[in-house]
Structure 1
């Protein structure tokens, strides 16, 4: 990135009392499950890991499908996909390798409408923060493609666990709101997310916006969120919401 294109020159530094705006990452700024794509790549790189994952799917698959057990199911796949990695340095190196070898795919998955909304908030001087269930290092590396790598990212903390890598603290559901508050993002002016797991975040925001939701979740959002809450589609095929171009 050239000096003229640096984020510090493109956007004003937000004031300490500026409105806090929170974006989810997957299915909000990025079309898909970013760490799921990394995990699939890790599993496919090693035939033994692929076989173990397939053998474990009758147990782990249903766990991932249901919110109360989703964290445990995903952790099982992460353990299989990262077995043999020694520490955070090895894990971060694998994330860097994935991003470096999938640049075209990643660029295609970044949603232009979402990025325009993100730019608008930054240009207005808002305190923008990304809160994601993915590792923050992955989200930062992807945001670097579009000159937003300086946006604060709060994500799932990952560390060594039983010979592989596992979540030390999962940035998910109510825990996401707690992690935001611990970092000083107490009063949330606006929040953007696709996920029913982010209902605590959306309810905490003065102006929640649902983007790219699953069709089966739309009625739930309409019932639980304030009347008139926008439910939009920012370009995720197969997802619900009013299309925005």
Structure 2
């Protein structure tokens, strides 16, 4: 039997909540002094993110302010620890995880594609991420002038670009699973598009034009 490719969003789909959003709030609480010292930049970043929440620039500037003069080693430890703790407290969507596991066992290529940082997804789902037929794609950071910025924010149509960059050709999925209409760019590449509700139940995206 020929292996198929399937797409899964992560936050809101495999579990409730958003690990990156929770991590940013966590970092804000720990970075009050930096936010005050760099207040003009902090204010600009917050306004940019408020008015353009799906764009990279505002959140990237905010991330730089919060991580300025913090070592990459310390940030990686913090990021991993937070993701593991988040995974232990968040509500898993068991029906979706069973479907995910079924695709893995059938030998299908499973793409976990998230707006959250790629390493945080791998920290939350280490066993799944280690499977040879699972490809994890997410947002990525890079160092810039003593802090961290977002090199790639893997949301909306950027998800399709990052998948194509990883595999080297246009994508086509047998099925796709997401809780959000914002994933319509990827869902338009799926033969079957499935909607995951807030309780983790799977339905179809009915009468939707992707």
Q: Secondary structure at the match of 2:116?
A: coil
Deviation, 1:101, is: 4.7
Partner of residue 160 from structure 1, selected from 140, 143, 147: 143
Q: State whether structure 2 residue 184 is matched by structure 1 residue 204.
A: no
- CA distance, structure 2, for counterparts of residue 222 and residue 48 of structure 1: 49
* Higher deviation after alignment, 171-180 or 71-80: 71-80
Deviation, 1:111, is: 1.8
Deviation digits for residues 73-124 of structure 1 (CA, Å, limit 9, x no counterpart): 322332233222234x44322212323555532xx33222221111121122
Deviation, 1:47, is: 2.8
Q: Secondary structure at the match of 2:70?
A: coil
- Relative contact order (alpha carbons < 8 A, sep ≥ 6): 1 or 2 greater? 2
- CA distance, structure 2, for counterparts of residue 124 and residue 101 of structure 1: 30
Q: How large is the RMSD of aligned CA atoms in angstroms? A: 2.7
Normalising by structure 1, we get a TM-score of: 0.69
- CA distance, structure 1, for counterparts of residue 85 and residue 95 of structure 2: 25
Partner of residue 110 from structure 1, selected from 81, 92, 95: 92
Unpaired segments of 5 or more residues in structure 2?
199-204
Checking the alignment, whether the CA contact within 8 Å between 2:48 and 2:57 is kept in structure 1 is no
Deviation digits for residues 23-75 of structure 1 (CA, Å, limit 9, x no counterpart): 111111121111111111112123324655984544532322xx4xx333322
Checking the alignment, whether the CA contact within 8 Å between 2:34 and 2:66 is kept in structure 1 is yes
- CA distance, structure 2, for counterparts of residue 163 and residue 135 of structure 1: 19
Partner of residue 62 from structure 1, selected from 51, 63, 71: 51
Normalising by structure 2, we get a TM-score of: 0.79
Structure 1 residues 222 and 84: alpha-carbon distance in aligned structure 2, compared to 1, 3 A threshold? farther
- CA distance, structure 2, for counterparts of residue 142 and residue 126 of structure 1: 21
Q: Superposition pairs for residues 48-197 of structure 1, below 5 Å?
A: 48-49=33-34, 52=39, 55=43, 57-64=46-53, 67=54, 70-87=55-72, 89-102=73-86, 104-105=88-89, 108-144=90-126, 147-150=127-130, 151-184=134-167, 186-197=171-182
How many residues are aligned here?
Answer: 195
Checking the alignment, whether the CA contact within 8 Å between 1:39 and 1:81 is kept in structure 2 is no
Structure 1 residues 159 and 18: alpha-carbon distance in aligned structure 2, compared to 1, 3 A threshold? same
Larger strand share, 1 or 2: 2
Structure 1 residues 212 and 164: alpha-carbon distance in aligned structure 2, compared to 1, 3 A threshold? farther
Structure 1 residues 116 and 26: alpha-carbon distance in aligned structure 2, compared to 1, 3 A threshold? same
Unpaired segments of 5 or more residues in structure 1?
1-14, 214-219, 226-245
Which 4+ runs in 1 deviate beyond 4 A?
Answer: 49-56, 100-103
- CA distance, structure 1, for counterparts of residue 83 and residue 13 of structure 2: 19
